[in-house]
Amino acid sequence: MTEPYKLLFVCLGNICRSPSAENIMNHLIKEAGLEAQIYCDSAGTSGYHVGEKPDRRMTMAANARGIEMKGRSRQFDRYDLEEFDLVLAMDRSNYQGIVALDTAGKYEHKVKMMCSYCREHSDQEVPDPYYGGADGFDYVIRLLMDACEGLLEEVKGELG
């Protein structure tokens, strides 16, 4: 059997946006019956929340749409650039933090902005809802659902 296509979602603390993207994507992958072909993980560019579960407000927003939130925060590591086929940054700051670890410029082609896969939303970045209210968490779930649906279509094309 061939190796699964590996996706890594990255935000700042790995408790709101990136675990949401990971769990939404896993939900869509399961619906499509592609669990053996696509693997997802998430990480944060900072180590602020290492070992923590996803933010409870994000979990509530995801659960309201039938998405189960699993996982624990971990910090992004430069070896992730070798390990994953595609690294998806939630915002420009995350993107810069990721490519800064690629000192030889060998993996920059693998690093993409999450919103580049949106089909309905025109956002360039996934906003960080951490310091806002419930509406921000709901919006991020809708935005990531859009981006993940577009990303899944692209990955399915890669898989043939």
The shares of helix, strand and coil residues in the chain, as percent rounded to the nearest 5, are 45, 15, 40
Contact 41, 7 (CB under 8 A): yes
Give whole-number Cα distances, 156 to 99, 118, 128, 160, in Å: 26, 16, 28, 6
Is residue 105 left, alpha or beta, with left meaning phi > 0 and alpha meaning psi from -120 to 50?
A: left
What's the CA gap between 126 and 144, in Å, rounded? 8
Encoded tokens for 12: 């700042």
**55 annotated active-site:** no
Residue 40 is among the residues annotated as catalytic for this protein: no
Task: Answer for the pair 126, 141: CB distance below 8 angstroms, yes or no.
Answer: no
Which residue in the list 41, 55, 91, 128 is annotated as catalytic?
128
| Active site (annotated) includes residue 17 | yes
Q: 11, 16, 115, 148: which is the annotated catalytic residue?
A: 11
3-class DSSP state of 19: helix
Catalytic residues: 11, 17, 128
